[in-house]
Structure 1
Amino acid sequence: MNTYVNFRGKCAEAFRYYERHLGAKVGMMMTHAQSPDQSRVGSEWKDAVLHARISIGDTELMAADIPNAEPMRSAYLTLRMHSNIEAERVFAALSDGGRVLMPLEETFFAFRFGSCKISSVSTG
């Protein structure tokens, strides 16, 4: 099962952020202007992402820009890192400008676990 996230016009910006801070790799990104069917594309929407795919470690995330995207409620995306140092680096990058809900720390089920609401720069 893959996760599909809707952004409100900042999908490309978010994916570039994930590339810089998570070592992610964009596999595909198509804007509405690149769509073979231009009959439904308004000029204000031509630079918005129609469909994108990014690999973050062993996980693939798909996304698009949609006009009425709403913030996620009761949905969480989880990243697994190969080391505590990498977990601390990624958590610091994602929580910068956001809000830490649970500090990154050792728990009974993980060497490092934390939770944060990431900034709008990284979510769109």
Structure 2
Amino acid sequence: MKLIPFLGFKGQAHDAMAFYAQALGGKVTAEMRYRDMPPTDGSPGCNEMPPETLDHVAHSQLEVGTAVLMAADGPGEDGGGSTTINVDVDTPEEAERVFAALAEGGVVHMPIGETFWAHRWGMLQDRYGKPWMVNCMKSP
């Protein structure tokens, strides 16, 4: 299991991650825009996004040695301007177990399920008001 900080931005994710890569001596290893996301799996793909946000970043990943930082420009009224912890696990069963445990007494924002990038992914706010994502990635 890995715990990965996930930074939410309001349209500045691309510039912020480039800045962090330079400042930390790392490399942005992945970046996807909302317009490039398939709209068929229930995640916020291009058909659910306002037209003015289609070029915003849906996912960015920065690697510095063995450390990973993820970011995106979020939808919604706050634009996703928050920090979330992404729990990266190895199996769908572990993802479901961790998600259920963290969601107990909390609020589920995106139920755990399969997406085009993950065997399981979901978002929640725990009973203490902290945001989490649980991710069991598919191989690239």
When residues 30 and 48 of structure 1 are mapped into structure 2, their CA distance, relative to the original with a 3 A threshold, is same
- Which residue of structure 2 lines up, in the alignment, with residue 30 of structure 1? 32
- Structure 2, unaligned runs of 5 or more: 40-45, 84-140
Cα deviation, residue 52, structure 1? 1.2
Pair 1:65–1:58, CA change in 2 (3 A): same
Task: Give the structure 2 partner of residue 43 of structure 1.
Answer: 51
Deviations 1:44-97 (A, max 9, x none): 00111111111123210111111413466xxxxxxxxxxxxxxxxxxxxxxxxx
Question: Which amino acid is 1:60 matched to?
Answer: V
After superposition, the CA RMSD in angstroms is 2.0
Q: Which runs of 5+ in 1 are unaligned?
A: 73-124
What SS does structure 2 have at the residue aligned with 1:2? strand
Amino acid at match of 1:27: T
Is 2:60 the counterpart of 1:52?
Answer: yes
Write the deviation string for residues 72-124 of structure 1: whole angstroms up to 9, x where unpaired: 6xxxxxxxxxxxxxxxxxxxxxxxxxxxxxxxxxxxxxxxxxxxxxxxxxxxx
**Number of aligned pairs?**
73
CA distance, structure 2, for counterparts of residue 22 and residue 6 of structure 1: 19
Kindly indicate which of the two structures has a greater share of residues assigned to strand: 2
Give the match for residue 10 of structure 2. 8
1:53-72 counterparts in 2 under 5 A? Answer: 53-67=61-75, 68=78, 69-70=80-81
Give the TM-score, by structure 1 length: 0.52
Give the 3 Å change call, closer, same or farther, for CA 19–6 of structure 1 in structure 2. same
The whole-number CA distance in structure 2 between the counterparts of 1:65 and 1:40 is: 14
Q: How many percent identity over aligned positions? A: 29
> Partner amino acid for 2:19?
Y
Larger Rg: 1
